Amino acid sequence: MYNFDKEVLRRNTGSLKWDLAKNDVIPMWVADMDFETPEPIVKALKERVEHGIFGYTIADKDYYSSIINWMNKRHGWNIKKEWINFSPGVVPGVNIILRAITHPGDKVILQTPVYYPFFSAVENNGCKIVENPLIYENGTYKMDYEDLEKKLKDNRVKAFVLCNPHNPVGRVWTEEELKTLGELCIKNNVIIISDEIHGDLIYKQYRHIPFASISEELSDNCVTFIAPSKTFNIAGIQAANAIISNIKIRNLYLTQVENLGITRPNIFAIVATAAAYNEGEQWLDELINYLQNNLDYLKQYIRKNIPKIKVINPEGTYLVWLDCSELGLKGKELHRFVKDKARLWLDEGYIFGANGENFERINIACPRSVLVEALSRLERAVSGER
């Protein structure tokens, strides 16, 4: 029903992705898709605009039920209305919860390589980052529980930020993995902050397990962030939710929200979220098929034409982590090569932590024609052609 092949011009629309890129560079860095937002969302927003009054807003019944139904239907997770707390984004939410549950000088564990705004969220709150690097083995990543157990023993460690599914390595963590992690954290009184913003973007053979859906015990030691922003390409609308079943943790979170004076949601965020979750399912299913085809194309193309680059197979997300070790370049040098020689703006691997310096991350949520051009540019750059 939907046409994901359509190329929509985004330059000069105030697009972070396109308007900061030089004319001849294809931007494939930030997690923002080049597809039109699903029609039911656009329609609901238009109707709201037509009303013509945009006063202070509250989240209505439809808003909450849309979230509850979506989580239940797509992920088998039963959440209660009172657990849901609006946030203007996941990054602001992670900053707020860290402010709520830590004191300056405390420590927070991150599994590197990882989404880089987590680093600043920890440091913004005067805390120290403790890295629990993922183990990279046989072309995939797994958690290092032995290292984690040692680090959790430090009683200044107060929180663990989980990326589920993981950006940039693309793992969709299994129930077993999450359970082991969750139990270790509970044993050491460390709260888990689970960023599940990519949880709806899962490839066919895999299943997203919301961390807090595993058991009441894990749920009560966790704050989960969900959002329609990546799923439906509405990041500019700034809508997310913190799901918190533990009332003590929820109150700590809400006190900070109150202190910052950001208790009122954006009117368009409320409308877009409800429309997305109530009416966006067919679009999402079609999107996932399209992304799967883009991913298959990328894997085949690179295997055949750029074998020095190894694709880390993502189980979820439209972000693909590319191991460029065999190119003999790393860090800034690698990034400069990709930008100047291939004229592609990817995300540089080293910003995800030191163990990312041989990597680049590519966003494949674009029309196939754009991906085809990008890969051909990369091939020509690696083979030394212009």
Ligand X SMILES: Cc1ncc(COP(=O)(O)O)c(C=O)c1O
Report the interface residues with ligand X, using CB under 6 A: 31, 89-91, 115, 163, 167, 195, 197, 227, 229, 235, 240
- Looking at the Cβ atoms of 120 and 383, the one nearer to ligand X is 120
Work out how close the CB of 355 gets to ligand X at its nearest, in angstroms, rounded to a whole number.
17
Which residue is nearest to ligand X, using beta carbons? 89
Work out how close the CB of 168 gets to ligand X at its nearest, in angstroms, rounded to a whole number.
8
Work out how close the CB of 91 gets to ligand X at its nearest, in angstroms, rounded to a whole number.
3
- Looking at the Cβ atoms of 32 and 106, the one nearer to ligand X is 32
- Looking at the Cβ atoms of 10 and 341, the one nearer to ligand X is 10
- Looking at the Cβ atoms of 106 and 195, the one nearer to ligand X is 195
- Looking at the Cβ atoms of 355 and 363, the one nearer to ligand X is 363
Amino acid at 216: E
Work out how close the CB of 166 gets to ligand X at its nearest, in angstroms, rounded to a whole number.
8
Encoded tokens for 267: 């009117």
Encoded tokens for 223: 């704050």
SS3 of residue 170 by DSSP: coil
Work out how close the CB of 224 gets to ligand X at its nearest, in angstroms, rounded to a whole number.
12
- Looking at the Cβ atoms of 162 and 306, the one nearer to ligand X is 162
Work out how close the CB of 362 gets to ligand X at its nearest, in angstroms, rounded to a whole number.
14
Whose tokens are 């945009």? That residue is 54
Which residues, 6 or more positions from 338, have their beta carbon under 8 angstroms from its beta carbon? Answer: 344, 346, 360, 378, 381
CA–CA distance, 146 with 152 (Å, rounded to integer)? 10
Encoded tokens for 238: 């700034």
CA–CA distance, 125 with 89 (Å, rounded to integer)? 17
| Phi and psi torsions of 84, nearest 5° | -90, 125
Strands 319-323 and 359-363: antiparallel
**End-to-end CA gap in the chain:** 39
